[in-house]
């Protein structure tokens, strides 16, 4: 049997594939456009018997049709997306194309493919769509966490595009009986995350002697989940989830951004002390806030716990220590990622925001 994953060369996808290949011989096909966020270094060492990369676009019906006809997957896991909120504020169009139209194209292609299946192949088939808690909008400090029943109130072009995709997935279940599953997960962190996102950006900026940009007052709260826990939850939903249902996935680790920054600094103070003996926390710099910045996300994980037996394995402290360790001990990966396009992004986005200090070597 075979499964098809989209966006598997990105952060969560590559962690998912590595976990999958470690625990199963079932072949995994990865359809990835290899945007700036897709990184061939993440997966190059995998055995071609169990892993195959197809470089292509989820928006292209022919590409998707050919893969489905050739490999006849028993499941499609849709992770391909433009995923960074700040980029969606500068240039939303690509988010609509990939996140909305790409998901629509995958659903259409899956529907045609599903119609050709019979018997156990048909019974087994699943379309699993990986989404975010950001579709639910922002919580006040005293609000209960997001449940599967929370209304959709997306606030950024990114979350609006993911919300649109989620609605399409739901509609394909209701209208066409396509056996879909949707997961809405909180903020992930861990190895191989592109360092435009908060945690890897801060780890690398701290280690290189740059400023640590904190948007606004830094009291925005996220529910952080270690990436391999998210991957475990996706596998559980794929295996045991009820078609047509959605499952929230959280890390049971609500933290505000300033506390996350201080925790990162503490670990790096131990592992790579500054030459002047001060804490890396002196590099923390408050910068202009993000427009439409959601104040708080939090996930109620009761449904996935009770129905599918999933709870996260790693505490925030354990996960953060493993993450910092990974970035400090993989300088080749880091250097290749910090290429021209990444520097262009830093200049564009942070150029106006925070003065940089002297760069150090990792
Ligand atoms: P990422 O940006 O690291 O990776 C996205 C991958 O999708 C890249 O490999 C990229 O090349 C590929 N891709 C982009 N456009 C494509 C297209 N048109 N066709 C084929 N491939 C394309 O993202 P991530 O953080 O790994 O997130 C994966 C999924 O999980 C996304 O759908 C995201 O919305 C969702 N999610 C992410 C988080 C998080 O904290 N990172 C939390 C919840 C949900
Ligand atoms: P991010 O990793 O972009 O995830 P998301 O916006 O999807 O939650 O940001 C996490 C939090 O960190 C969010 O509140 C924005 C904040 N943040 C900063 O304060 N500074 C930064 O440079 C970045 C990238 C994010």
Confidence check: pLDDT of 361 > 80: no
State the pLDDT at residue 166: 99
End-to-end Cα separation, the chain, in angstroms: 43
- In this prediction, residue 1 carries a pLDDT of 93
List, chain by chain if needed, residues with CB within 6 Å of any ligand 2 atom: 85, 134, 187, 197-198, 201, 213-215, 220, 222, 257
Where does the pLDDT of residue 18 fall: very low under 50, low under 70, confident under 90, or very high at 90 and above? very high
The arithmetic mean of pLDDT across residues 34-50, rounded, is: 92
Alpha carbon nearest to ligand 1 atom 4, residue: 10
Question: What does DSSP assign to residue 241?
Answer: P
Ligand 1 nearest-atom number relative to CA 97: 18
List, in sequence order, every residue forming a beta bridge with 266; answer none if it has no partner. none
| Mean pLDDT computed over 337-355 | 83
Query: Helix (H, G, I), strand (E, B), or coil: what is residue 328?
Result: helix
pLDDT, the chain, mean: 96
- Evaluate if residue 354 carries a pLDDT over 70: no
Q: Known catalytic residue: 86?
A: no
pLDDT tens digits, 203-250? 999 999 999 999 999 999 999 999 999 999 999 999 999 999 999 999
Ligand number nearest to the C-alpha of 156: 2
The one catalytic residue among 32, 134, 229, 294: 134
Distances (CA, A) of 27 to 24, 41, 96, 181, 284: 8, 19, 30, 21, 45
Rounded to 5 degrees, what are φ and ψ at 56? -175, 175
Q: How many residues does the chain have?
A: 362
DSSP 123-177: HH-EEEEEEEGGGG----TTSPPB-TTSPP---SHHHHHHHHHHHHHHHHHHHH-
- State the Cα–Cα distance between residues 318 and 36, nearest whole angstrom: 29
Residue 241 in contact with residue 181, Cβ under 8 Å?
Answer: yes
- Does residue 199 line the site of ligand 1, with CB under 6 A? no
Give dist(CA 120, CA 114) in Å, integer. Answer: 12
* 80 Cα–ligand 1 center, Å: 5
Question: Among this protein's residues, is 143 annotated catalytic?
Answer: no
95-138 per-position pLDDT tens digit: 999 999 999 999 999 999 999 999 999 999 999 999 999 999 99
Relative to the alpha carbon of 251, which ligand is closest?
A: 1
The pLDDT tens digits for 268-315 are: 999 999 999 999 999 999 999 999 999 999 999 999 999 999 999 999
The label of the residue with tokens 């990436």 reads 227
- Beta strand pairing call for 180-185 and 126-132: parallel
Burial class (CB in 10 A: 0-12, 13-18, 19+), 217: exposed
**Ligand 1 contacts CB of residue 162 (under 6 A):** yes
- Give whole-number Cα distances, 137 to 60, 86, 100, 281, in Å: 30, 16, 18, 30
């Amino acid at each position: 049997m075979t499964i098809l994953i989209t966006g598997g060369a990105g952060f969560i996808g590559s962690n998912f594939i590595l976990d999958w290949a470690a625990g199963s011989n079932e072949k995994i096909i990865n359809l990835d456009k290899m945007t700036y966020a897709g990184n061939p270094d993440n997966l190059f060492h995998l055995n071609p018997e169990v892993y195959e990369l197809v470089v292509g676009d989820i928006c292209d019906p022919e590409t998707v049709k050919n893969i489905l006809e050739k490999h006849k997957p028993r499941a499609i896991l849709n992770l391909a997306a433009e995923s960074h909120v700040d980029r969606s504020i500068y240039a939303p169009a690509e988010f609509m194309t990939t996140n909305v139209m790409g998901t629509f194209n995958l659903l259409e292609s899956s529907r045609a493919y599903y119609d050709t299946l019979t018997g156990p192949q048909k019974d087994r088939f699943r379309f699993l769509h990986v989404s975010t808690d950001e579709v639910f909008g922002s919580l006040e400090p005293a609000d209960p966490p997001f449940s599967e029943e929370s209304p959709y109130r997306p606030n950024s072009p990114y979350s609006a595009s993911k919300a649109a995709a989620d609605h399409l997935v739901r509609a394909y279940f209701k209208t066409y009986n396509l056996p879909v599953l949707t997961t809405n997960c909180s903020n992930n962190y861990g190895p191989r995350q592109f360092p435009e996102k908060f945690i890897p950006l801060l780890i690398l900026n701290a280690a290189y002697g740059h400023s640590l940009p904190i948007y606004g007052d830094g009291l925005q709260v996220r529910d952080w989940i270690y990436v391999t826990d998210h991957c475990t939850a996706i596998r559980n939903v794929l295996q045991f989830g009820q078609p047509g249902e959605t499952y929230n996935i959280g890390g049971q680790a609500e933290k505000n951004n300033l506390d996350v920054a201080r925790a990162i600094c503490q670990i790096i103070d131990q592992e790579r002390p500054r030459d002047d003996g001060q804490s890396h926390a002196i590099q923390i710099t408050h910068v202009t806030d993000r427009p439409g910045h959601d104040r708080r996300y939090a996930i109620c994980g009761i449904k996935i716990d009770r129905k599918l037996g999933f709870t996260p394995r790693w505490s925030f402290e354990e996960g953060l220590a493993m993450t910092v360790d990974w970035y400090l001990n993989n300088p080749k990966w880091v250097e290749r990622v910090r290429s021209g396009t990444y520097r262009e992004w830093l200049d564009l986005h942070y150029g106006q925001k925070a003065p940089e200090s002297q760069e150090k070597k990792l």
